[in-house]
Structure 1
Amino acid sequence: MNLVFVESNTTGSGMLAFAGARALGSTPVLATADPSRYAGLAETGVRVLACDTNEGDLARVLRDELGEIAGVTTTSEFYVTTVARTAGELGLPGNPPEAVAACRDKGRMRRILAAERLPSPAFEVITPDDDLERQVQATLARIAMPCVVKPVDDTGSLDVVLCTTSQEVLAHCRKLLGSTVNVRGQRSSGTALVEGYLNGPEFSVEMLSARGAHRCVGIVAKQVTPPPSFVECRHVFPAPLDDDAARTLAQTACRALAALGVTDGVTHVEMKLIDRRGYVVEVNARPAGGMIPQVIRTSCGFDLVEAHLRLALGLPVPPLPEIFLPAGIAFLLAHDPPPDAVLAEIGGVEHALALEHVDAVTVTAAPGSAVRHARSSYDRLGHVIAHAPDHARLHGTLDAALDLLRPVLRQPMGVR
C-alpha cells in the first residue's frame, strides 16, 4: 500500500512523517525532483521516485511507476495544490483543488473571507499588469500605515515585511513583483499583497476536517520577532486563553475553512485576537510546521502528523485530546551577527538538555552555514522543546535553555 509524499519539509514533521506512514502499514514513497535536498533520506528507508514535481502529469507518472496507490500527501506548503489535484485525478481522499488553491493564494483567500464577512484588514493585491507606482498610491489612500507587504504564495514568513513609509511599500512591492521562482524552483505569481497591520497577539488554530465537518484540536500561542520581519520564535500549547477567547478563535477558523471550501485534512490557521475578535492571517492546508506537531504530542499525546496521514489514506482518526500539559518550543536565532558570518558550532547543547523539563535540544544549522539576522524561518539555528506543570515554568525553562546555547560564529578567510 503506497502512500506517496509529493516532496516534503526537509526537517521536522516532514521526515518524521515517513516513519508515521510505515507505522500505519503503508509504504512511504517520496516523489521528488531533487533527492539530494533531503539530508538523511537514506536512513529513513523511504522509497524515492525521482520525477518532475513542479510541471507535467504527476498522476500519470505515479500510476505508471507505482501501480497501486493508497494516498497522496505532502507536508510542504509548496506542494499542497499539486497534491489536491493529483489525488483528485487518482480518485483518492483529499481536498477540492480549488479550495487548496484559495488557501495558497493569500490574495484570493482575503477576497473570499471578506466576502463572507469574516473580520478582515483592509487589503489590496498589487499585480505586474498595471503601473506599480499608481497602484501603490491608490492602495495607500485606503490602507493606513504601518502596513504589511507580503508575497501571495510563499511560506515561512519569507519576505513578509512591515512597512512604515510609501517608499518602503513601493520598494518591497517592486522586489516581490520581480520574483519569478520560489525556493523550490516553482514559478511564483509575481504579485504582492498589501494589508493593514493587525496589531494583536498571534495564535494558530490546529484544525481537523473530515467530509466538511471541522474540529479544533487545540490553539497555539505564538511569539514572533519584532518588525519589520515576523519570524516565529516561540510556540506554546495550549495557548493560555479563557474559554470565550478560545471559542472565538475556533469558531472563526471553522467559518474560514467552510468559506474556502476545505473539506478534509489537517489545517493550520494562523490568527490574531483583537478586541475579542478573531482575524485570520492565513490558512495553510497542511499540518503546522515549526515543530508544532511535536509540541502538541508532548502536551497531550495527540499526533497531528498521524492524523494527517490517516486522512490521506481514508482511515479514521483517534479521538481528540481532552487533557493538556503546557509544552512549547523556542527557536535559537542569531542576534546582531557580523556581516558575512558563518556558523562554526553551537555550544552548550548538553547543558541545555540536562535542564529539568527539557525534552529535546536540536541544532538545525550545519557548520559553515551563513548566519544573519533572522528574516524568515530559514534563518533559525536550532530549537528547544520542553514541558512544565504551568505556563510560567515552561517559559522559564525555555528561556534558561536558550541562554545556555552559544552560537560560535566566524568569518570566511579574507573577510575582516
Structure 2
Amino acid sequence: MNRTAASRRLLMVMPYSQFVRKAAEAGFEVWAIWDPSLREQAYLDEVAAHAQELLLTDFGDEAGLRTLIAETVRAHGIGTVLHLGAEESMPPALAEAEALGVSPNPAAAVGALNDKAAMRALLAARGLSPVRSRTAGTAEEAAAAVAGLPLPVVVKPARASGSRGIALIRDADDLGEWTARVTEAGLAGPYLVEEYLEGPEYSVETLSADGEHHVIGITAKQTTGAPFFVETAHIHPAPLGPDERAALHAVVIGLLDLAGYRFGPAHTEVVLTAHGPRIVESQTRLGGDRIPLLIETASDYDIEAAIFRTLAGAPVEPPAPRHTASVGFFLLPAGRLESVTGLDAIRALPFVHVLHFPFRPGDELPPTTSSATRHGYVVVDAESPAEARGRIARVRGLLRANVREAALTTTPKGALR
C-alpha cells in the first residue's frame, strides 16, 4: 500500500492513550479528539503526550464534533480519521470522515455492525446465522414483540454495549423487571427481542485490511447467565476443535463481508448452538475485558500495535498462540467494603500479569448488573485451560473482602454498561 505524506497524518476520535502512543511508534503524526467530561485530566495528559495536538469537544454535540473533525482535517492535511473508542460517538465522526474522503470504512458498514437490530436484519436478509427476532421502538412495543416469540427470549437495547439493559424474559415478571430497569437507566430504544441462544459463548477478534478479514483469536467466555449475562471469566485461546474453529471463522468473516467492512478491528460475539454458530452482536473496535492483553499474553501479539502497522501498509499476520491466558472478574456482594486482604499475596504470584482492584475500605461496592459494575479482575498465564481455571480460582480464594452487605432492593441499581 503506497502511503503519501498526508496518509501518515492521522486524526483519532476518542483514542485511548496507548493507541496514540502506538500510532506514533508506527510512524504516524496523530491529532486526537476527546470529550473532557469522559476522562480525568491526568488521562488526557497521557493522550496529549504522544499527539501533535489534543482537541476537546462535547461528543454529545454532533454538529460541533463534525465541524471540529472537518476543520482539523483541512488545517493539517490529514489523510485518515479513525474512531476505535465507544460506539456512541462513532456515527457523526464516521459520517464526516466519509464526506471528507478520509474514512477507511463506509459509515454504513460500521453502522450495520454496531447496531444490533441492523446487524440482525442484515444477517436475516442473507440467511446467515438465522435467529428469530423482532425489533421494537419502545418498551411497550418490546412487550408486544415478546408476546410474538416463543419464550424464553432475550431483550436488549440495539445500540448499547457492555451488557447494559440485557435480560432473559421467561415470564411477565421478568418483562416488568426489565422495563423498570431500562427506564431507570435511560436506555432508550430501539430494542431487539430475539430467541435465547443456548451453547458456549465465544468472542472472535478480527483485523481487516482492504476488505480482507483475518481472525486474530477466539476467546471462550463465561457469564453469570440470566438475568444480566455479565462476563465472569475468559480463556484465550478458546479450547476448540478444528471444525468448530472453522465454523466460527466462516460465520464472522461472512458477517464482515456482508456489512462491507474494509479496515480495522472488530469484536464479534458468537454462541455455538446445537444448530451451528449464531452471532450475538459485533462492534467495530477491539474487545473489552482485557482481551487484547490475553492475546498478547498467549501469543506475544500486540493487536493494538497491529492496527497501525496495518494502516501503514504492513500485511496482517495472525499469531499462533503458545500459552493460555485468562481473565477472572471479581463479583463481590454489594455493600460497604469494611476490609480487604490478600492483594499483596496475589501480586506476588509468578503467573499473575495484572491485578485490578479499585476499591478501598469504606467504599461502596455496587451490585453487579453489567460489566461496568464488576469489582475488578486478575489476568493470569497458564499452559492449559484447566490450569488457567485453577489459577483464577486460587486468586479468588486469596482475595478476602469483608463487605457489609446492602439491603436488597426490588430493582438492582448501579452503573450499567
Q: Fold-level match, TM-score > 0.5?
A: yes
Q: 1:64 is aligned with what amino acid?
A: E
**Given that residues 347 and 407 in structure 1 are in contact (C-alpha distance below 8 angstroms), is that contact kept between their aligned partners in structure 2?**
yes
Structure 1: distance between partners of 2:375 and 2:320: 33
Structure 2: distance between partners of 1:365 and 1:49: 32
Deviations 1:233-287 (A, max 9, x none): 1111110000000000110001111122212211011000012511000011111
TM-score, L = length of structure 1:
0.85
**Given that residues 208 and 262 in structure 2 are in contact (C-alpha distance below 8 angstroms), is that contact kept between their aligned partners in structure 1?**
yes
> Aligned with 2:63: secondary structure?
coil
Residue 32 (1) aligns with residue 40 (2) = no
Structure 2: distance between partners of 1:56 and 1:345: 48
Greater Cα shift, 190-199 or 22-31: 22-31
**Given that residues 140 and 166 in structure 1 are in contact (C-alpha distance below 8 angstroms), is that contact kept between their aligned partners in structure 2?**
no
Aligned counterpart in structure 2 of residue 21 of structure 1, from 5, 20, 23: 23
**Residue 40 of structure 1, CA deviation:** 3.4
Residue 55 of structure 2 corresponds to: 49
Aligned counterpart in structure 1 of residue 314 of structure 2, from 291, 313, 316: 316
Going from structure 1 to structure 2, the CA distance change for 1:220 and 1:146 (only over 3 Å counts) comes to same
Structure 2: distance between partners of 1:291 and 1:358: 14
Structure 2: distance between partners of 1:343 and 1:6: 37
**Residue 356 of structure 1, CA deviation:** 3.3
Matched positions, count:
391
Residue 69 of structure 1 corresponds to: 78
Matched-pair identity in %? 29
Residue 11 of structure 1 corresponds to: none
> Aligned with 2:220: secondary structure?
strand
Residue 244 (1) aligns with residue 243 (2) = yes
Contiguous gaps of at least 5 residues in structure 1: 9-13, 183-187
Greater Cα shift, 394-403 or 26-35: 26-35
Structure 1: distance between partners of 2:347 and 2:97: 42
Structure 1: distance between partners of 2:147 and 2:382: 48
Structure 2: distance between partners of 1:26 and 1:344: 48
Deviations 1:93-121 (A, max 9, x none): 42210111112221111111111111232
Counterpart mapping for 1:119-158 below 5 A? 119-128=129-138, 132=140, 136-137=143-144, 139-158=145-164
Deviations 1:179-205 (A, max 9, x none): 75x6xxxxx5x2211111111100011
Q: 1:69 is aligned with what amino acid?
A: I
**Residue 175 of structure 1, CA deviation:** 5.5
Going from structure 1 to structure 2, the CA distance change for 1:125 and 1:109 (only over 3 Å counts) comes to same
Residue 105 (1) aligns with residue 115 (2) = yes
Counterpart mapping for 1:190-269 below 5 A? 190-269=189-268
**Given that residues 287 and 308 in structure 1 are in contact (C-alpha distance below 8 angstroms), is that contact kept between their aligned partners in structure 2?**
no
Structure 2: distance between partners of 1:157 and 1:98: 24
Structure 2: distance between partners of 1:393 and 1:276: 30
Residue 324 of structure 2 corresponds to: 326
Residue 11 of structure 2 corresponds to: 4
TM-score, L = length of structure 2:
0.85
Structure 2: distance between partners of 1:104 and 1:36: 21
**Given that residues 202 and 221 in structure 2 are in contact (C-alpha distance below 8 angstroms), is that contact kept between their aligned partners in structure 1?**
yes
**Residue 292 of structure 1, CA deviation:** 0.3
Structure 2: distance between partners of 1:151 and 1:108: 12
**Given that residues 69 and 97 in structure 2 are in contact (C-alpha distance below 8 angstroms), is that contact kept between their aligned partners in structure 1?**
no
Going from structure 1 to structure 2, the CA distance change for 1:20 and 1:369 (only over 3 Å counts) comes to farther
**Given that residues 126 and 191 in structure 1 are in contact (C-alpha distance below 8 angstroms), is that contact kept between their aligned partners in structure 2?**
yes
Structure 2: distance between partners of 1:226 and 1:329: 18
Counterpart mapping for 1:370-381 below 5 A? 370-381=364-375
Contiguous gaps of at least 5 residues in structure 2: 1-7, 407-417
